[in-house]
Amino acid sequence: MNHLSCPTTVINAPIDTIWALLMDPLSWHKVFDIRIQNALPRGPATPGQIVRAESGPSWMHLKLSIEIVAVNPAAHRIKMMIQLPLRLVVHEDLDCVPIDPTSCRVNYRCDFAFPSGWRGCAIRLLMSRELKRGPEDSLRRLKDAAEGEQRLLAKKT
């Protein structure tokens, strides 16, 4: 049983600014609603890299594991597989398409895979609001972070 969410947005920042945010796993707390624990190996996002993080309220400590599946710098595309508690798996595919030198469109495909049986049905029911809101919130955070960096750069010049 799966649920697919595919939000998209236009970000008023150069594609390189957005790509730099996505390539730095230790700074993903700016983009995703997670608390980063570590990334192995350290450094920019690379296939096979594992990022350990927590999500949810700070008192809850919901552990998750993010594996970078593919990175295509020429296409500004990154694919990840996230393993969440209760055997929930999310396959994420995020790409950036330039519109002009100062803006781009970001497409975010989140394919939520639930365990089979009654547990999967229950988890899907409990998470129904988050299935849509989570990916949209991540895009909003990415937009805010990238546009914020652009405002800071503009003030410096």
What letter would DSSP give residue 116?
S
Non-local CB neighbours of 92 within 8 Å, separated by 6+ positions: 79, 80, 81, 82, 108, 109, 110, 111
| Pairing mode, strands 88-100 and 8-11 | unpaired
pLDDT in tens, 10-32: 999 999 999 999 999 999 998 88
Decide: pTM greater than 0.75: yes
pLDDT (tens digit, 9 = 90+) per residue, 132-157? 898 999 999 999 999 998 888 888 87
Structural domains in the chain, sorted by start: 2-156 (3.30.530.20)
- Per-range mean pLDDT, top range of 2-6, 122-126, 150-154: 2-6
Q: What is the Cα–Cα distance from 37 to 43, expressed in whole angstroms?
A: 14
Tell me the C-alpha distance between 4 and 15, whole Å: 25
